[in-house]
Amino acid sequence: MNSNIKIIKESQIKHMKWSGGTQSEVYIYPENSTFEERNFIFNLCTATVDLEKSNFTFFPNYNRIIMTLDNPLTLKHNDGEEIHLAQYQPHTFYGEDKTVSYGKVNDYNFVMARDKCEGDLQVISLARGCTIFPKVGNFSCSKVMELIYVKTGAVEINDNGITDTAHQGELIVFDTPQDQRKFVISNHGTDTSLLIIAEAHIL
């Protein structure tokens, strides 16, 4: 497998506590940065919200995208109107907003340094026998990374004939230049695979 393609195994994921539950750091970039020091360009994590009402951690100078993985989630930013999120519906907000959440959920978070990274989240349901290809385009940034989290099922990555498999709870990191992306991702299993795809544009 290309050295710019890697699979983050579930055993490599770092777990920690936050004020409303637990957090699992799926990936951080650069890889030598730390969540605690706030010196990262972007961070992907899953989290449990164990309280009916909780206050989100402040992230000054960062943008955030949150997506609930199961139950409905209600948010309020800066004592404003309620925002109701359904399962797998992404929502973007400022990390320095005073944010209160209502509802016990498991969620997926994409946290980006505002002046260094832009990105988005989407969910793809990949049926048995189906294949997806890398996204290509002309982007006005220094680097584009694709990070695919396997929420359910398993997928095979084929990179110029070299194959590997990512299972449920694992992350595929593609750090390959746009013009060199030759990989394909396929579902050869018996069940549909649910993939959460983050695209990070490093400015």
d(CA 147, CA 52): 30
Residue 63, pLDDT above cutoff 80 = yes
- At position 133, the amino acid (one-letter code) is F
d(CA 43, CA 103): 23
CATH classification (class only), 116-202: mainly beta
Closest CA to 86 of 31, 58, 123: 123
* CATH architecture for segment(s) 8-113: Sandwich (2.60)
Is the previous residue joined to 72 through a cis bond, with omega within 30 degrees of 0?
A: no
Residue 125 main-chain phi, psi, to 5 deg: -100, 115
Identify the band that residue 92 occupies on the pLDDT scale cut at 50, 70 and 90.
Answer: very high
Give the start-to-end residue ranges of the domains of the chain: 8-113, 116-202
Give mean pLDDT, residues 66-93.
Answer: 98
d(CA 98, CA 146): 30
pTM tops 0.85: yes
